[in-house]
Structure 1
């Protein structure tokens, strides 16, 4: 469900920014504020005293803001395929490196799965990859690093809804600064506002909460690799809802990506199980 939300969020961002229905700053402002408001309402209705009290962190809040703002501005100068390649490449490298630095050691099956899944991902986006501008490259790289750190922060979440809500609320001071510095450049339409609201309230706010719930049962490597399926899901969504054709490239890349993910998720488990039986 979280990955479907990510894919939908990517589509909403492209529709809003690609068509010029709204500027990058306005989109980010509305996206984060609407996410914070909706999550706060949900949390209030659910009751804050239920479950473990956990209020996210300023680090996660800042990383969420940094990811959102750099992502929006990057897509103004980077096309979809190139942006996805830079973003998810940065996410994988960030999460795996930080995991290794924390003492985690990957089994050969996990390394193989990572390589296989990333190969399938590259095969999918390769036709639309172009040479990015320096600004676009830097912005999308920063966005990927920020999202990787935000994701890793969620693995220790004891109350995903409360953590995500407070992380969104902590973006508000940064959003206010963004408003102050870009007020004279804001440009929006009713269509752009609606797309930003959907992105913030549903695919970001609710989607990121579901993601934090899922992270409690995923290793860092698993969480990193399964995100490579987002472009595949987005492409399948185009087939289902926009009448796009199913191409051989999509079928092959989907099989490779899903195969790589399966190797990462199951490989170490069966290796550990086999090792324990021989002890």
Structure 2
């Protein structure tokens, strides 16, 4: 039950990130490089403070430059992609790409997912492919490409999380390593003429401190109990949560194409969860 609660909480946090990013970048016209910097700096500050108050592992030893680089790739391309993509569509592209990355990582690590996991993965990918059927409202190509790069970054970050010893210290260390690079990117590539409203800053802080920082620490706490293939398929529920939030909070609409994609994804998740808890290893 504990792992289920941790996993569900993390998935809701992931969906919140899509909603908060889209609200700031589309509704407030905030520069994506500025949003990314505020997001990672606020996440690093909150996590470092929590880790210091608790004591225990050193965050700089717990975090690693490689995990921080994967986090940075995800955060940067995620924000830039949401300039043009709707909330639910962006999340669907993200976690479809994450599924491919994590399944590939699981196979390279010697895991052998069973037939239920393969069937669930195939249904999830079919749901992603529905978006690109003839006549469907295909996403902006550049935005889609950037979101798939973000997916690769997040997939690597999640795979490395399965080996995290102290979830809070590890997540804090990764954010602390990534935040200065995000600030440098903001200074180098940010648009100095873009508006920076109080609302947009609040959205970025909420994304960094709560949905990202705390959400990712919770995810790292759940990952050691999940094999990579199940973790990948479970994340495909995030677009549905994000779509609901986009409809309710941002006034976005759901299409029949998205409904079909969602049905396939939910069916794939149900199949994957029905399979054995642990996969075989080669």
Which residue among 203, 213, 220 is the counterpart of 1:195?
Answer: 203
Determine if the alignment matches structure 1 residue 175 to structure 2 residue 182: yes
Equivalence for 2:27: 19
Higher alpha-carbon deviation: 219-228 or 40-49: 40-49
- Conserved 8 A contact 2:74-2:151: yes
Q: How does 1:89-238 map to 2 (within 5 A)?
A: 89-120=96-127, 129-133=137-141, 135-182=142-189, 185=192, 187=194, 188-237=196-245
Distance 1:267 1:78, change over 3 A: same
- Conserved 8 A contact 1:54-1:157: no
Distance 1:144 1:249, change over 3 A: closer
Higher alpha-carbon deviation: 17-26 or 110-119: 110-119
Higher alpha-carbon deviation: 248-257 or 55-64: 248-257
Equivalence for 1:2: 10
TM-score normalised by length of structure 1: 0.84
Offset from partner CA, 1:236-278 (integer Å, 9 cap, x none): 4457767999998888766643342232133134999xxxxxx
Shift of 1:82: 4.5
Shift of 1:40: 0.9
Higher alpha-carbon deviation: 260-269 or 154-163: 260-269
Distance 1:125 1:190, change over 3 A: farther
Determine if the alignment matches structure 1 residue 30 to structure 2 residue 24: no
Higher alpha-carbon deviation: 29-38 or 102-111: 102-111
Give RMSD over aligned pairs: 3.2
Instruction: Provide the C-alpha distance between the structure 1 equivalents of 2:132 and 2:36, rounded to a whole number of angstroms.
Output: 25
Instruction: Provide the C-alpha distance between the structure 1 equivalents of 2:279 and 2:103, rounded to a whole number of angstroms.
Output: 20
**Matched position secondary structure for 1:156:** coil
Distance 1:174 1:247, change over 3 A: closer
> Unaligned regions of 5+ residues in structure 2, if any?
1-8
Aligned length: 270
Distance 1:103 1:183, change over 3 A: closer
Instruction: Provide the C-alpha distance between the structure 2 equivalents of 1:263 and 1:132, rounded to a whole number of angstroms.
Output: 31
Task: Name which one, 1 or 2, has greater alpha-carbon Rg.
Answer: 1
Equivalence for 2:70: 63
Offset from partner CA, 1:187-240 (integer Å, 9 cap, x none): 311111010010000000001111111111111001111110001122344577
Shift of 1:183: 5.4
Equivalence for 1:275: none
Determine if the alignment matches structure 1 residue 88 to structure 2 residue 113: no
TM-score normalised by length of structure 2: 0.83
- Conserved 8 A contact 1:235-1:250: no
Distance 1:89 1:271, change over 3 A: closer
